[in-house]
Structure 1
Amino acid sequence: MQRTIVLLFFLVFQQLVFAAPQSGIATGDTLYLTLPDAWKKAELHSRLIEIQRKTTAIALEEYKDAKLELLFPEVSVKGTAEKASNIPIYENGLFSKPKQHEVIHTLYHIGAEFYQILYHGNKYRLKIKADKTSHQLSEVQENKVVSDIRYKTASLYLDLQRCLLFKDLIVKDIMDQEEQLKEIKSFHKNGVVLKSDVLRIELDLSKRKMALVTIDNDILIASQKLNIILGEPDERKVYPLMIDAQKVGRLPYQHYLEQALKHSFAYHISEKQTELSAINLKKVKANTRPNIGIYGEFYYANPQIFLAPYNPSWYSLGVIGVKATYPLSALYHNIHKVNAAKLELDKEEEAHHHTEDMVRQAVKEAYLRYEEALKQIDVSEVDVKQAQENARIIKNTYFNQTSLITDLLDADIQLLQARFELAAARILAQDKYYLLQNVIGIL
């Protein structure tokens, strides 16, 4: 009787846990979480997401730097201070003693220069476009990492929820079996059933209690896995709040396929990589175009040796002009580079088509598995009703001495198994739903 009261108290406590009105609230060492709360914590503590965010930030800085290179000229300042020796003049040949010509020995030079690109085969604009595309690619990859972390969190969250549901079911079943054992013991005292029947029921009950120990360990393992991704201590108890499976959407396959072609991370990553290859081909072709720029220089110098006669005075000079070059060697050096870039673009286009095929296949598979899981819920609900009715009939016939103890045990096991399968089917349907959302790219 005392054990039954303890189990009943635990069962009530379990129901209170799942009915907790607030989420994200820690009570002692217990944390009650909804799935959106779990997602927020996982995103906050995920190192993979943080790494990808930094990668995206790096790509953004490179894009900004490329724009600055085009808009602003290269400017530099320089200064020199030099000492010069006299100039030996060999009037009678190299092997005669030279005459020393006096020069101004100390020379100073301070100035600034700039170079502004006017046209460089459109390379700088293509570099800006490439860096912008790279930044967009990093953003898609960041969103993919976030979505993957969300799905992994949902999977661990649902796994823990499944373990808790199994524990709830096994605890209820143990209570029922203990009540049934009391009835059989009572019948045994009255000589209605054999001692072997009592022993069989006790053996079966001990197996259920061992199953409860296994489920408790499963809960601890699932809790630790979830705590790690949430950034919580291993010892923290996490109770996922129940998700209403009826709220999960159910739309036609064509809708999911259209969404995938708009939002799929793999599809857009392949698309951006193809764009980068197309830009690279244009950059390689630009190698055979002229380079035009404007340059200028202004400096102060001492002594004045720019014009004769020289004198030890400071002077200044400013120069501005246009510089144009044409890389003739690129006409033959660039042939194979262009061919390689074209082949690279063709390869990326084929890879993009392949990715599109894989996205369609992944959406189809995820959709069918989701539909399968939903049908499994319907089948499992019918199985539970049939198993309940079968257990009721067998129990009545057993106590009326028209069926064997093995029939009773089989009926009880079938009922417990049917309940387990229904709980697992409901959890699996939710898992497959979130997997479908992840494949589509909208999780």
Structure 2
Amino acid sequence: MKSNMKKFIALILILFSAGTFAQEKLTLKECLSIGLKNSKELAIANSRIVSSSAKVDEINTQYLPQLKFNASYSRLSDVPPFEITVPFSPKPIQIAPAILNNYSFRLSMQQPVFTGFRIGSLKSAAELNRHAAEEDYDKDKNEVSMNIHNAFWNYYKSIQVKNLMDENLQMIDKHIEDTRNFMSQGLATQNDLLKLQVQQSNIKLQQIDARNNIDLARTALNKAIGLPLNSPTEILPEEADISAPVQYNLQELVNEALNKRSELKSLVLRIEAGMENVNAVKSTWYPSVYVTGNYYYSNPNQRYQPPQEKFKGTWDLGISLSWDIWNWGNTSAQTVQAEQNVVQSTISKDQLKDAIEFEVNQNYLAYIYNKEKLDVTKTAIQQAEENYRTTEEKYKYQLATSTDLIDAETSLLQANTNYTNSVIDFQLSKIRLYKSVGRMIN
């Protein structure tokens, strides 16, 4: 009974392990979902949003009254009590006893009334910086999505190239078998067989490179989607979209990029925040007005005379004004610094616009170039297939040499490889173009 139970438990464990380690093939959409969820870059970008939101909350608290509580205790040295001598009195009259223990509790309130527009400017700057952080998040999200697309399609390309190698090797194996039959009939020579065997070895070497490329591409995809690098990830790709391209207008693409790019929006928001910071610095040229109030609970309370060794409460309420009349140009120097930060950011914005325009031009030309390559390689496949079909047919009747057959096979393999590369390059060039004009990648 125990033996059967052990076998049953072992079987359950094996089935559980098999289910646990079974690797489902991932679609592009699933890779994007996993990658965006695991992205450390997006986690950092989201943390910046949370931090900038907390900064807005911090500034908002400055509109509200600030309450502070203070408590103190002191022990005084022993001194004689305060007494006066009155004529005809046998004893001096004690005015105030010597109170050696002093306790003091104070609750203070300060409410800003006017701060030279400092709080409002700081709040506007903080809100603008928060919106800039949100734009940065969108930019980083697009970057991560682009990296996942790139890794996914390159992995797919490496698999397709390996499949082409396998198909080509099967073709050569068949031709070697045919050539052996021809040799037995005296229709082919040993040299014909050797040429095919050399080609067979070359393809096997290329297979090794292709397998290595698959491993490297899989590792790159694992890294892009945040999985362990050695995960046996497999993909289930959709058909690449190689439909006829939209006839884009380059200037319209540039204009779209200048309106949509998140990093440009972010920089514009930070320039506006910098201008608000300038206003905040200038606020020290104005007076600051506060309403203040205090409640004292002390033993002794100095407001009561003569002092008594008892806890008594008193309060006061007032208004205070503070104005920095002269500080040797400190405010002016701080203002210049803040203004120059805005100048630097404005110049950086112009540089970014130039870089965006160049990137759009570059990706637009790559898009057109890869579409042309796709059309050419598609035609080349048709030609290579026809050439191979004709040459193979001739070789069956020994009207073509093994060299002709090898050349036809090599041309067909190269044409198929070029077409596969062109399909993926065109797919990625479209995505890069979309990204460069500020469209969200999904």
TM-score (norm 1): 0.85
Aligned match for 2:178, one of 176, 179, 183: 183
Which stretches in structure 2 are left out of the alignment for 5+ residues? 1-18, 82-95
Partner of 2:376: helix, strand, or coil? helix
Name the amino acid aligned to 2:368. E
- CA–CA distance in 2 between the matches of 1:305 and 1:138? 54
Identity of aligned residues (%): 18
Name the amino acid aligned to 1:33. L
Name the counterpart of 1:242: 238
Name the counterpart of 2:136: 141
Aligned match for 2:156, one of 136, 140, 161: 161
How far does residue 205 in structure 1 lie from its aligned partner after superposition? 1.4
Name the amino acid aligned to 2:374. I
Partner of 1:30: helix, strand, or coil? coil
Query: Structure 1 residue 47 and structure 2 residue 40: aligned?
Result: yes
Name the counterpart of 1:93: none
Aligned match for 2:259, one of 251, 257, 262: 262
| Cα pair 1:38 1:153 within 8 Å, conserved | yes
Query: Structure 1 residue 33 and structure 2 residue 26: aligned?
Result: yes
Aligned match for 2:65, one of 73, 90, 100: 73
- CA–CA distance in 1 between the matches of 2:275 and 2:51? 22
- CA–CA distance in 1 between the matches of 2:398 and 2:195? 16
Name the counterpart of 1:5: none
Name the counterpart of 1:377: 374
- CA–CA distance in 2 between the matches of 1:230 and 1:347? 36
Q: How does 1:63-142 map to 2 (within 5 A)?
A: 63-70=56-63, 72-87=64-79, 103-142=98-137
Which stretches in structure 1 are left out of the alignment for 5+ residues? 1-25, 90-100
Q: How does 1:346-385 map to 2 (within 5 A)?
A: 346-385=343-382
Query: Structure 1 residue 202 and structure 2 residue 197: aligned?
Result: yes
- CA–CA distance in 1 between the matches of 2:239 and 2:295? 74
Partner of 1:245: helix, strand, or coil? coil
- CA–CA distance in 1 between the matches of 2:305 and 2:233? 91
Aligned match for 1:394, one of 391, 406, 430: 391
Aligned match for 1:296, one of 293, 296, 305: 293
- CA deviations on 1:137-195 (whole Å, 9 max, x unpaired) are 22122222222111111111111100111122122222222222232222222222221
Distance 1:75 1:272, change over 3 A: same
Name the amino acid aligned to 1:188. M
- CA–CA distance in 2 between the matches of 1:167 and 1:238? 14
Distance 1:313 1:245, change over 3 A: same
Query: Structure 1 residue 411 and structure 2 residue 403: aligned?
Result: no
Query: Structure 1 residue 309 and structure 2 residue 302: aligned?
Result: no
How far does residue 403 in structure 1 lie from its aligned partner after superposition? 4.8
| Cα pair 1:78 1:112 within 8 Å, conserved | yes
RMSD: 2.4
Name the amino acid aligned to 1:434. I
| Cα pair 1:248 1:430 within 8 Å, conserved | no
Distance 1:378 1:417, change over 3 A: same
| Cα pair 1:86 1:102 within 8 Å, conserved | no
How far does residue 289 in structure 1 lie from its aligned partner after superposition? 1.3
- CA deviations on 1:79-127 (whole Å, 9 max, x unpaired) are 22222234579xxxxxxxxxxx952222222221111111111111111
Structure 1 residues 179-188 or 397-406, which shifts more? 397-406
- CA–CA distance in 2 between the matches of 1:359 and 1:232? 32
How far does residue 27 in structure 1 lie from its aligned partner after superposition? 9.2
Partner of 1:277: helix, strand, or coil? helix
How far does residue 323 in structure 1 lie from its aligned partner after superposition? 0.8
Partner of 2:71: helix, strand, or coil? strand
- CA deviations on 1:323-359 (whole Å, 9 max, x unpaired) are 1111112473222332232222222111111111111
- CA deviations on 1:218-245 (whole Å, 9 max, x unpaired) are 2122222222333444242312323331
